[in-house]
Structure 1
Amino acid sequence: MYMLHDKQKLLELVHYKMPFGKYKGRYLVDLPIAYLVWFRQKGYPPGKLGAHMQTMLDIKSDGLEPMIKKLQKEFPIE
């Protein structure tokens, strides 16, 4: 059951879109890394969005964007 929960969380991250601002409606993986770094310096929004942005910065910094893009294609939103 734990692995299913992790899979659901990962798929949520993969399909999460920016809800406001200049990049409203874009997937977090499509945000420029400089934008995510700026939020890290100024403070992430509270809650799920902030946690997802922080995770996405780590993913992008580690060069794992292709993995996220692949997951978006293999597990589209139903």
Structure 2
Amino acid sequence: MDIPEEYLLWMNNKGFPQGQLGQLLALALELKIHGLEDILTPLRKNNPPNHQHSTDDTLH
């Protein structure tokens, strides 16, 4: 999981955002706290992160 645990702990103290994003961030924290990050490995293998940027984002 690419989100640092410290960030998730900070968000937990400040309050997660409402809605699905907040639920997913809270779930990510639970997975990290309980050492369950490996259960996401099969999902990541089938859907690798897309870090491609459009040419509009390129600095010239």
TM-score w.r.t. structure 2 length?
A: 0.70
1:47 counterpart = 2:19: yes
Q: Which amino acid aligns with 2:40?
A: I
Give unmatched runs, 5+ long, in structure 2: 49-60
TM-score w.r.t. structure 1 length?
A: 0.55
**Displaced runs of 4+ in structure 1, greater than 6 A?**
none
**Cα-Cα RMSD:** 1.4
Q: Which amino acid aligns with 1:48?
A: Q
What is the CA–CA distance in structure 2 between the aligned matches of 1:46 and 1:55, rounded to whole Å?
Answer: 13
Give unmatched runs, 5+ long, in structure 1: 1-28
Aligned residues: 48
SS at match of 1:39: helix
Q: Tell me the percent identity.
A: 38
